[in-house]
Amino acid sequence: MFLAVFGSLLPFEHWTFVYEDALGVTPFSPGHILGTDNNGYDLLTSVIAGTRMSIFIAITAVGLGGLLGSALGITAAFIRGKVDLVLSTAFNVGLAIPNLVLALALVSVLATNVDMTEVVPIWRRVTVLVISLTIVLIPILGRIARGATLTWSGREFVTAARSMGMRDMQIIRKHIVPNVLPALIAVAFLAVGVVIIAEASLSLLGVGIPDGGSWGGMIARGRNDLEYSPHVLYIPVIFLAITVISTNQIGEVLRGRLDGRESKV
């Protein structure tokens, strides 16, 4: 209990700290506070740019995935019948391939260039990453939304609302979404952490953001000269870990509160 409260306070500091940096506000005086790497890049500015990129990708992908996934999941569970069968099968198909394998396959296929020597522009890589990670997330979040909707739509108040002549869309908006949403938000925070790591893994494998554009890219670059300047590697890892710890903690706390509410019901 003490840890839950204390832990939720701590990472909040990290979050805002990271966020301010991402906006480009550097409260320190000029110089290389975090040092430079062997190419002479300042690590502080790199890590700031990397933070912006990684967090942007993670939040966009989770946002899109959550939106589409929950819409599909709620629809499936609410309409049932054939629609549910089709959507559930689609979710299962998506889940049959381990997440990272699916993301890897999608990214590598979508980012293929006609001419191998031509450099893929960065915006296209970002778009491809976001799309791929979104596709990976849809079945995961969709299934959770479907499960949650199924339990809620069986409750008495939904039957009551229907007998009162409420239309389906109204029931979904008024009764289902408010109940399903908290669970999804908690999961979404956990998903942000997962996506950040996934993006870093993809960049490390050379199909994500190249040349230190994101945390994963920085780690990939730091890998090349880890014997002589290991700090190039440590710094993005530390930033990444702190962010993931924060999102996980927030997700856990939210989930914990939710469970508390559920058990009282």
Partner 1 sequence: MFKFGFWLQRVAQLFVVLLLVTFGVSLLIRIIPVDLATIVMPVADETQRAAFRASIGLDKGPIGYYLQWLGNFVQGDLGKIYYSGGTETVSGHLIKAMPRSLLLMAYTQIFALGVAIPLGVLSAYRAGRRADRVISNTLFIFSSIPGFAIGLILIIIVGTKFAWLPTLGYATFSEGIWEHFKHMIMPVLSLSFGLIAQYTRLLRADMIASLREDYVTMAMSKGLSDRRILWQHVFRPSSVTLFTSAALSMGGLIGGAIVIESIFATYGVGFEIFAAIGGRQYIMLQSCVAVIALFYVFFNLVVDIGSGFVDPRTRDRRSNV
Binding flag, residue 219, partner 1 (CB under 8 A): yes
Furthest CA-CA distance within the chain: 72
Q: Which of 113, 159, 170, 224 binds partner 1 (CB under 8 A)?
A: 113
Binding flag, residue 68, partner 1 (CB under 8 A): no
Binding flag, residue 188, partner 1 (CB under 8 A): no
Helix (H, G, I), strand (E, B) or coil at 42: strand
CA distance linking residue 142 with residue 92, whole number of Å: 10
Each residue 245-264 as x (binds partner 1 by CB under 8 A) or -, in order, gives x--xx---------------
Residue that the structure tokens 């993670």 belong to: 58
CA distance linking residue 161 with residue 158, whole number of Å: 5
Binding flag, residue 4, partner 1 (CB under 8 A): no
CA distance linking residue 103 with residue 141, whole number of Å: 15
CA nearest neighbour of 180 among 75, 83, 85, 99? 75
Binding flag, residue 223, partner 1 (CB under 8 A): yes
Q: Which of 25, 96, 119, 169 binds partner 1 (CB under 8 A)?
A: 96
Binding flag, residue 3, partner 1 (CB under 8 A): yes
Nearer residue to partner 1 within complex by CB, 16 or 112? 112
Number of residues that bind partner 1 (CB under 8 A): 43
